[in-house]
Amino acid sequence: MKNISQEEKDYLKGDGETSNDKIVLDLSGSNWQMEGIRPNEGVKIGFHQLNFDITGDSFNWGFAKVPGDVYTDLWRQGRIEDPHFGRNSLKAKWVPENEWWYKRQFDVPKEMDGKRIQLVFDGVDFGCDVYLNGELLGTHEGMFSQFKFDVSNTIRFERLRFGTNVLMVRLHPAPRRYSQVAGRKPAWHGDYWVALPPTGIWKPVYLEAMGNVTIEDTYVKSSILKDDLAKLDIDIELENHFEDEQEVLIDIEVEGNNFESQTFSINTKAKLLKKGTNNLNLSLDIDNAKLWWPWDLGDQNLYNATVTISDKNEQILDTTTTTFGIREVEMVHNPGFTLDEVENPWTVMINGKRHFMRSGTWGGPPDIFMGRAHPSKYVELIRLAKEANFNNLRIFGWHPEEIPLFYQLCNEAGITVWQDVLPLASLSLPKDQEFKDAVFAEAISSVKAQRNHPCIVLLEGSEELFMTASDPVHNLQFVNELGEAIKPYTPLHFIPSSPLSDEVGMNLGFKPNESFHANDLFYGEGEFVMEDYFPSLDYAVIPELAISSCPNIESIKKFIPADEIWPPGPSWGHHWTDFDALRTLNFEVVGDQSTDSLESFVTATQIAQGAIFQYALEHFRTRKPKTSAICICHYITFAPDMKWGIVDYYQEKKLSFDYVRKAYQPVLLTMKHYDRRWLPGEEFKGELWVVNDLYKSFNNSKATIKFLDNNKKVIKEEQFDFASIGGDSSSKYIDVSCKVPGEIGDKFYAEMTLVDAEGTIISENDYMMLVADKIKDRAELRAIGLEAFKIKQKYGWANYFRYFPGLGAEEGHLEADQKMPIARGFDTK
């Protein structure tokens, strides 16, 4: 394999170089061409028969890149405008009406002659037919499953300037009904994207040349025997392509990947393989074993296991290297709940230590169009996730499984992954056996491809698959069977869906305190306030907590046309701005709807998102160990929008990022307070707690709290000695108070610091409160919410025309000479 950069590992394959006697020729890159045509017309006119003429029938085709996607290639060619800008995505709806043909010409290294050659596709979205030199190799459907073809007798070894071999891939028209492809492709719609179903060759394509016995899968299972001794059970799946039995030698070497270690080896005597698939299991003890941990519990030690298969003459037939970590994952029940309240074990124990999951939804990939999801974006987003103190990322059923680079980066960063096996979300699933068989096969393929990654610690079957379905009973049966289908391939715990403890879930028989989506504050239209709502929730885990905000102004300018930026034009609505929800949340948190200017509106939405996240996250963390995980929805999203993320599409941090960073400190000094609005002269009351997710104790620590008035002048300062802060703990330490300064309309603040015995800061935190009449403000908040609710009832929840009277949501349709319609209720100055 060629020498590749850190960002490209597991994303690109080699380019004609050898690894022992195995040769890999990468067909990825920019040497592709593409063209579209009406469905089923390509074969009729002979696209599949195009040859290697230098200026032949495809000379006028557009240039394309693999891995990538159709929309990005068309955008690069100038055939469509950037789908992310304005409402351009609606103008590109003609693209999925076509089938798209991708062409790659190439020569092969002469060293491949005489070997078994296979053409490998790591992933195509969604369905395709593959032709090589005019011969149909086969058809494949399913975005996540690798597929391959034996092309030993189809490859040409002549060499010309532009290549004598012609690979043609016919992409089927993109699916238009999610229900028909659910589980094998994620939904291309949701409340941050709605317009276009992605399609393309989204993972690498390459040739492999080796012997007639191939390594199809290597799975390394680890168990910890005692502190410094681990056992590896190595399952190897071999395919004997000979017509008869074959004797082979199997060599395994295990050594450190990111640290120096001795080499551990297995050298077997001759094994007799039957024709077809053979499954072998070999064991190996590892002395002085270095364990893999999440970043806040230990080091991220990784190992490599290299498997080599040779014939009886010691000629190498195939070789592969698999990266893994030595770690054990166990699930235990959350203390404080009876089995009648919570049936599932929800606490993740890694190597015997509690792993409280401080999580965020990975609303990725970094771009819904994989041609724009460059490896550098993954690197930066994982870096930012760790900066925000996430120790877990959740991939739920609205999103696809990720490319190998994502899991590699999580392995290296010590960020665990809580993942839905396949994208199944918010629909009633088809009931035919063919659909079920296809989904289960895709799930098994996916699990086998990912199971060596130590970062993956918990699997779920679906997202919101019960709450909105017309047939939740069938959906439950489906995901339960899915869990049974993957059980032979992974020891990880499987949860059927999220949430389990809403009304529909309990009607299906789930317990009342399992898991819950804490989204009512956002969707409640001012019905709740954070300090009443979140403390009322009593659940083992909170898999989703959603609050939206706008991205930074410089980011907004990149995807909203200049004449629509302020006052907001319809492109805001197309990018999922819920103006009424944002106005409501602004008023709750900062005391004003903040619609007077772009700057004040954007800033208020980000502060509101951050303050609500901070309040909720800190509350649920103080419930530890009764609550064992909390996940914000989202950390990122895969398109520019006015919605969930705390890091926007352009990898820019919102103000809310810092609120989450503070709330997710491994050692957290937090001030519980059950009101945010206080009258002048009242006695503000709070409680100082410390949550410690580390397994390190702190003795003789000191906490300082300062209360500040509207002008940031200190009005009270106190220090407290904390004799002992236990590892893996959550405890209240002391009550605090101050006389509320200022007058109605002001703000006041609390700033806190916790230092250890040496004076090193181990936690810093701060809060903003309002000098206000909470009874009056709650009535006003509810009035804003009821106004919003009535508008949604009249025009529809997802119809953004309701904000723009000129688009026809109210009287007075847009006339040709009218100006751009602007959002109702926003300052036009």
530's CB contacts (< 8 A; 6+ apart) are 521, 588, 611, 612, 615, 616, 676
Q: Is the pLDDT of residue 8 over 60?
A: no
Q: Does residue 741 or residue 801 have the better pLDDT?
A: 741
What integer pLDDT is reported at residue 14 of this predicted model? 36
**Nearest-angstrom CA–CA distance, 215 and 217:** 6
Q: At what angle do helices 774-795 and 579-590 cross, to 10 degrees?
A: 180
Percent of the chain with pLDDT over 90: 88
**Which amino acid is residue 805, in one-letter code?**
P
Confidence of residue 819 (pLDDT cuts 50, 70, 90): low
What integer pLDDT is reported at residue 160 of this predicted model? 78
Distance of CA 676 to the CA centre of its chain: 33
Which pTM does this prediction carry? 0.95
Confidence of residue 13 (pLDDT cuts 50, 70, 90): very low
Q: Is the pLDDT of residue 159 over 90?
A: no
Confidence of residue 16 (pLDDT cuts 50, 70, 90): very low
Tens-place pLDDT, residues 47-90:
999 988 876 888 899 999 999 999 999 999 999 999 999 999 99
% helix, strand, coil for the chain, step of 5: 25, 35, 45
Is residue 237 a contact partner of residue 293, using CB atoms and an 8 Å limit?
no
Tokens at residue 344, please? 């599932």
Distance of CA 753 to the CA centre of its chain: 33
**Nearest-angstrom CA–CA distance, 667 and 685:** 23
827 Ramachandran zone, left/alpha/beta (phi>0; psi -120 to 50):
beta
Q: Is the pLDDT of residue 821 over 80?
A: no
Is residue 222 a contact partner of residue 285, using CB atoms and an 8 Å limit?
no
Tokens at residue 356, please? 């409280």
Tens-place pLDDT, residues 552-573:
999 999 999 999 999 999 999 9
Q: Is the pLDDT of residue 814 over 70?
A: no
Is residue 456 a contact partner of residue 492, using CB atoms and an 8 Å limit?
yes
What integer pLDDT is reported at residue 12 of this predicted model? 35
Q: Is the pLDDT of residue 136 over 90?
A: yes
DSSP 563-580: GGTTTT-HHHHHTT--HH
Mean pLDDT score, 18-45: 90
**Nearest-angstrom CA–CA distance, 704 and 569:** 47
Confidence of residue 787 (pLDDT cuts 50, 70, 90): confident
What integer pLDDT is reported at residue 809 of this predicted model? 52
288's CB contacts (< 8 A; 6+ apart) are 228, 261, 262
Q: Is the pLDDT of residue 515 over 60?
A: yes
**Mean pLDDT over the full length of the chain:** 93
Mean pLDDT score, 490-513: 97
Look up residue 143 and give its DSSP letter. S
Distance of CA 704 to the CA centre of its chain: 38
509's CB contacts (< 8 A; 6+ apart) are none
DSSP 78-107: TSS--TTSTTHHHHTTTGGGSEEEEEEEE-
Q: Which of 305, 181, 236 is nearest to 448 (CA)?
A: 236
Question: Which domains are present in the chain?
Answer: 6-210 (2.60.120.260), 213-324 (2.60.40.10), 331-664 (3.20.20.80), 670-774 (2.60.40.10)
Q: Identify the H or E element spanning 178.
A: helix 178-181
Environment class of 696 (CB within 10 Å of its CB; exposed 0-12, middle 13-18, buried 19+): middle
Q: Which of 260, 213, 665, 187 is nearest to 465 (CA)?
A: 187
Confidence of residue 15 (pLDDT cuts 50, 70, 90): very low
Q: Is the pLDDT of residue 825 over 80?
A: no
What integer pLDDT is reported at residue 303 of this predicted model? 98
SS3 356: coil
Mean pLDDT score, 3-26: 51
Is residue 7 a contact partner of residue 379, using CB atoms and an 8 Å limit?
yes
Q: Is the pLDDT of residue 11 over 60?
A: no
Q: Does residue 756 or residue 808 have the better pLDDT?
A: 756
Look up residue 260 and give its DSSP letter. -
Name which of 7-11, 302-306, 421-425 the model is least confident about.
7-11
Q: Which of 561, 567, 598 is nearest to 828 (CA)?
A: 567
Q: Is the pLDDT of residue 340 over 60?
A: yes
Number of other CB atoms surrounding residue 685 within 10 Å = 14
Q: Is the pLDDT of residue 163 over 90?
A: no
**Nearest-angstrom CA–CA distance, 567 and 23:** 59
Mean pLDDT score, 282-311: 97
**Nearest-angstrom CA–CA distance, 121 and 201:** 8
Tens-place pLDDT, residues 581-600:
999 999 999 999 999 999 99
Residue 498, CA distances (Å) to 287, 391, 459, 601 in order: 40, 20, 11, 33
Tens-place pLDDT, residues 441-491:
999 999 999 999 999 999 999 999 999 889 999 999 999 999 999 999 999
